[in-house]
Structure 1
Amino acid sequence: MDQARLALIRGGTEDETRSTGSGYLIGPRLVLTARHVLVNRETGEPWPTIRVRIGHFEHGPARSVAAELLWTPQDDLDVALLRVDHTADIPGAVTWGRPTGRVPLPYQGLGYPKAATTGTRAVETLGGVLSPLSGNGRYYVLDQRAAPVAATDGTNAWGGASGAAVFCRGTLVGVVAQEPEAYGARRLLAVPAHSFVEDPGFLHHLAEHACAVSDLVAIGVPAPRAEPGAERTPAERALESLLLPLFADPGSRAAYARELAGDLGYETGDYHPTTADLVALLRSHPRAHAALGQALAPRAADPAFRARLTAFLTQARTLGQGPLLSPDEFDELLRLLGEIGREQSALLPQAARDALPYAVLPAALDRPTIDDGELAATIEALEELSDGEGVPEGSPPVPALLRLVEYVAATAEGEQRHGLRAWSTRTADRIGIHGDALAERRMDAARWAERRRNSLVSRVVMELEHDGTGDGDRYRCRILLVRSDGTHRVLKGPESEPKTPQEAASALADAVSAARQEPGRYDHVPWVTVVVDEHGLHLAVDEWEAGAPEDVLPPSPIGADYQVSLSCPEFDRIVADRGQDQERRWKKGRTAVAVTGPSCSDARKLMHLLRTEHRDTARVVLHGPADQRRSWLKVCLALGVPVVLWDRDATGYEDADRLGELAPSGALDGLAERVRVFRSRTAAHPEERRARPSLVWEPEGSHPRTELLHLRDPWRGTHAS
């Protein structure tokens, strides 16, 4: 990298600079930069005025010259060539390179980011590591050592660094093009040089300006070497002593070390490692010790060697020598779980919560579904968890990740199940997990999958609690999936920030999406029970709207999309016999209906009716003035009436006909769906004056209870303290 070739680029009009970027002089008159620096984003046309300042303050005052856009690729690569009006005196030629292997490479560059502005744009050094395995192939991922504070005006902190040349070991490998917002200025993206240096148009302009283009230089990282003996740490010496018994022959040790270094992406041309060098290799790459264990696994049929290998792997993990899986194991698991996740995005979070109920799970598994892009980081986090003590005594603890894989496999079918179980078996054998321990996990998983198939999801439950600590209409929210046997699974805990009605409705929509992936649900309209306290019975929860996806569809109230009913278990604590009364009414009074009329003028008269001729009635329809309906509703719920319907907008008995379209005295089994269809029609025709029905529906049986666990006690350290 030559500081004298640094360029500051400004584009805009004669009167105003509209865009600022960086560049690098690759020929006496040619500047390489990012295309978006040179064009008006609104029109896509090049700026009419482009000025370039070439040079670095270390070499004296820089000269500002005019420039014109000379070349951009025909595809959408974000690179460009400028031709400047001044010929620079720059010795030598640019060497172009291409990172190879798997090992992250140090990189550097120079640019003019906005964060470095002190009155005028100042030079900032770019530096960090470039991982050849990260990204999507169209960009290099640059992880920055220095990360400026995000800009407060909505612009990128690294804005202005676009177009900066990126160098690895003295070769130009790419051009900075983007700053991903999700990484808080800690990461940049660069267009790889290999994607444009062979473009015919690019080569033509370089030849026209007498600029030679070198062949792309493959850039790798040499295998690490050990420090002198006196500088090695106690941990390194401990690993060295555990490695020696694994290699009786120094020649085999060197062969394994060279092969391992090559597999990890290091250069091994002149690599003749000692045991200490092998330790340095194991400590330099996070997955090296697991990869070595995988390479040595075929020799583990010998019990004595198996014991030595297990001791090495266990001690390496204890010393913090990287994650559980080798690169090959990680890549294969990512592929297998990715295939299942794309078909059933809710399965992995479901299995994780049931397989690891005491573990502190990664954040991505605390949501109803997991995105494909979150899977790699989630696997990495799960590698750190242990599941339980070994079986039998003394064998290594079973990783939580293996239990989870067995749960997912038990639910999968065909080749997916076979692939996951084969992966689990190989990984357990490599780590030294006793066969009985893995068999126990597989049996647990089979029982869980059987319960899951036989106990279908009956409804989604959203528990709401009004948050009185802050301003505005906000609620603490917990969402559960309840099965037909009464067990439940938490999809959304209440530990997050209180939610607005729209945020709660959006969280519910995510949960319903997960519920629809459960066995036996298919395209059924979900039943959503909203659990509230006495005051919450008068909320218009069914009218809450989730945000429409990308504004493709207009927002819709949740009561139009799902069968939404209310539940108020708070009365169970107030009235001791309520549960028994409710059970009796469900058994004996499903077809009976009580409708309040003018003769039922106060709460005492309604209580009398519900204790005599309507003692077993399961359904009450409330007509009448709003103030009386509130007291009548309390009476109904206290006496165990499980189904109560009313129009929360009704002002008196004269509005009773507004509920007629719902057939409130019709078949009970279809009432919730009739209410949903009515709410949907109301949302479609808001200009019509229609009822706003509220429906309490206390489910038959008990409220959700914690699912029975058939799992071992957690190993110390895996549960939340």
Structure 2
Amino acid sequence: MAWFRANGQAAAGVHGAFVSVLRDRDRLAAGGGVLLTERHLLTCAHVVNVALGKELLEPADPGPVRIGAVFPGSGSRDPHEARVTHWVPPRRTGGGLDWSGDLAVLELDGPAPVVPPRWSEMVPGQGVRAWHGGGHAATFVEVTVKECDGWIGYVDGELSGAAIGPGYSGGPLWSEREGAVVGLVAAQLQAPDGPLAAHHVVRRGWAIPWQAVRAELESAGAGPLLASADDAEDADRVPHQLLPPLAALLSDPAERADKARRLAEQCGLHALDDGSAPTYEELATVLTEHPRALASLTEVLAPTAHSARAREAIDILHATGPLVAGARLLSYAEHHHLLVQLKQQAKLDPALLPGAARGALAYAELPEPVRAARITPEAVDGAVGALEELGDSGRVPDGTPRVPALLRVAEYVAAALRGEALDELRGWSDQVATRLGIHPAALAERRADAKAWASRRDTDSGRTVVRLTRRPGDPADAFRCTVWRMAPDGTASRASTGEDRPLAGPEIARLVRDAVAPDGTQAPLVEVVVDRDALRLPVDEWREAEPDDLDPYGIFAPAALGADFRVVLRCPELRRRSPTGTADLRRRWAGSRTEETLVIDELTDDVRALKDMLNKTRQRSTGRVVLHGSPARRAHLLQVCLFMGVPVVLWDRATAGPEQAHHLQEIDSAGPLDSLPERVRDFRVDVYADPERTVRPSLVWEDPDRPLPGELRLADPLAMTEEK
């Protein structure tokens, strides 16, 4: 990644990993070195000799002696101890001006306080930087690689500034353009009989290229230590799938340089400004290393991609980027813009984002960050990141990209907003869809779904949740009762409690009526949460005690709860016993709007037969079931339905057999889903008023978009007995 580099990359990339190798006698620098792995240092063998007080080119292996080392770039001058583990002795060559080998690896007692740098091969023409072994930043030397045969590299310094000299040996040569170490300083070049004269050459040194370092260490048995350095080099081997579309889009060097500079700015990188353009490989490297870089690049390319060939190349980048480069869906700008909007809405309505996710992704297993009923602004980042990782939505026009899950959720959030907030989020969605090449018809369909969801959400002015539980020793028909008022944003406030003693039906009816606050638009929804043994309760028939003698004609007699309220039952206990209960409920809830209602008649009276039926492919999304038959049979089949995640179950608790099955037909159980509780209430009003009609409908209504209060978890009666 030579054309691009991180701001301050030289200091972060190599100076932090620079090592000062200390002399035993005075703890001053014998030379430099560099971190090879998190526990291993690399330097020249002759630097180790100097540190030990030996002859400069002594070839003998010193053994596992311990040598002091300091990491100046770590901010600490505290010395570390390291022992020699691999030794490549210096070997004189024929001319005597330089030598080969001359490498040593030292192992630290623990991990280094810095990280190893990247490595790359040395080639002629590279501008590189070296530091004195003391590690002070002011001692840097700028040199250029003039010749390199893979074993020895000759470097020349400028006529001004510092020059390579004693104490520089063993230190790394850093190429800022490559963003990597390309070799080690070996020595200042000298003539056989003394220093080179000024009229011969000045400021020439020689170095050990990375190619030679790698070969020598592998021969010395240190090959396994090179794995981390090889991994860094492998990072430059970019996915080849990205290169053809980049070449198709950015064949003009000037345009490529312009777009690359804009990309670098968004990624927080520094770009060269020498009139050159990055190679396609360098661009692909950025797309691989920065997860939002690909989206940010196509964001600046899409507005001018007018030809079919350019649009195809962008589509290829979008399709292959996540697979080969781990690219995220949104660009840096798109991501920031969305977070600002969603965080603002989370302050106003914490239930909106998770509710929109449940509505938009009814068939998906929602990620953990959006499963809660309410999301704080601080949690929005995690929620957006998790939604970005989900797959795309359903059908789209042939040959066009699908609508991503995150974009669909954003449409659902937007549909619940008004005015400027709606326009801003819709505008964001339009821009992202255009960049991704999404067909307008596909986006319009998702937008229509979102509008329908928001309309249903707007009509829900709140609800009341009633929890009924029993403790060992309580009377058979009495229950402890807790009532919550649930606001549309998912917040719960405890309205009343009767947990201190068991209450009969009339007393519970009074608590419910005291808690419910009708809004005048429709009958309030009352959700009664029971355990599986209480599904038989006639909660909808409960009413307050009859009036006294002051009302002899019953003019002010209260109606049954089921006449004034949309009373439904909920039984989370059974769903929680299933390992796939939550996923099953969401899948079947979505299916309850599209799939046929399953009517269980007297021919299906076996529990296993019902389980098999609901597991069949064509019944996997069944969300509505009507139960007929005897009370005992209904009780068993009802529990099977709830365990398997069926959210809507209707039955007549008063009938003794299938001969009265036709009574429920008036409710139209297969009609519009959202109005089913209201149709049941209307039916109850009619049958309560006619003594000849004994039918009593019960309705389980497990809407996953209406979460229960967080603390509402029914205890197992057996567990309660044991605790008692």
Do they superpose with TM above 0.5? no
| Larger Cα-atom Rg | 2
